[in-house]
Amino acid sequence: MSKSLTRVRRALDAAGIAADIREPGPARTAQQAADAVGCEIDQIAKSIIFRGAQSGSAVLFLTAGGNRVCAEQASALAGEQLGKADAALIRAQTGFAIGGVAPIGHLNPIRAFLDPRLMEFAQVWAAAGTPRHLFALDPQLLPGLTGGTLAAFTL
């Protein structure tokens, strides 16, 4: 088991969540993930990470798979202009590679914002630390697990 996958499993166990981590095949995109597990695209909790222009730190926006993050709304929430986070920042902050960023199990704490659309489902799926692994959970658990704030930031 990869180190990334192990960190996600430990975070779930520590939270008392008996999530079933699956390896359904390539799931680098929200559509691939939805197809792989047989759910609606918006049931995929997609991790989008930006870099704060002033702070240089990473900020996580966990959004429904079919939604796009509005840069202006995201910057307003973060309190600073946001730009694209590169692979090195994402790896350093979260410990995950692009395409497999889980909402939990990060190497370092990260500010997070959550798309309210995710809360409309009984179950959502998220990356489990690799581009091939996913886990399902009740989205109502996401704010507590991630320390994230529910906020409108999508187009």
Nearest to 85 by CA among 103, 71, 104: 71
Residue 53 tokens, joined: 């222009």
pLDDT tier, 25 (very low <50, low <70, confident <90, very high otherwise): confident
- Predicted TM-score (pTM) of the model is 0.96
- Domain 3-150 indexed as CATH 3.40.50.10890: no
- Residue 119: half-sphere exposure toward Cβ, Cα within 13 Å: 13
Return the domain boundaries, the chain.
3-150
Model confidence over 84-131: pLDDT tens digits?
999 999 999 999 999 999 999 999 999 999 999 999 999 999 999 999
Beta carbons within 10 angstroms of residue 17's beta carbon: 14
pLDDT at 1 over 80: no
pLDDT at 137 over 90: yes
Phi and psi at residue 114, in whole multiples of 5°? -115, 135
